[in-house]
Amino acid sequence: MGENAAEKYAPIKIPNKLGEFKSLFDLSFDQEEMKWTNWMNTQDKYVVNKELSFLQLSIPTIDSIRMLSICKMLLMNNKHCLLVGPTGTGKSLQLNQMLQADFDNEFWAYYQLGFSAQTTSN
């Protein structure tokens, strides 16, 4: 291991002044630049598609960006992903949009199953 290897594997500094962020979970680690960044900076600026209906809109928030990024990372590493939360918060819509955008190709296929409060174990 030369000096370059030592620099490459140097400990990553965790910011001790988060500023506008309340916790480390509000930040994403950029592996290419080796620094912490706001989750909102990991996405392009959102532009409303006027052809979509109101129900088809999915406005990215720090929570949705973080959730979808972690889900995508899990799926790309052959790990299972389960989204939980209150009804009507956009879990299915966001996940379906991610699957169509990033995983609907010659290497990936997905099948959607719908569950509701009426779904039983049988």
Q: 23-30: long-range contacts (C-beta < 8 A, 24 or more apart)?
A: 25/66, 26/62, 28/66, 28/69
- 38 DSSP β-pair partners: 27
User: What single DSSP character describes residue 32?
Assistant: T
Tell me the C-alpha distance between 5 and 44, whole Å.
33
Model pTM above 0.75: no
Which residues are within 8 A (CB) of 36 and not within 5 positions of it... i.e. 6 or more apart?
14, 15, 24, 27, 28, 29, 30
Which residues are within 8 A (CB) of 78 and not within 5 positions of it... i.e. 6 or more apart?
none
Among 120, 98, 122, residue whose Cα is nearest residue 112: 98
Per-residue pLDDT of the chain in tens (122 residues, 90 and over written 9): 455 655 565 666 666 665 666 777 888 888 888 888 888 888 888 899 899 888 777 888 888 899 999 999 998 899 998 888 888 888 888 888 888 888 877 888 878 777 777 888 77
Tell me the C-alpha distance between 27 and 69, whole Å.
12
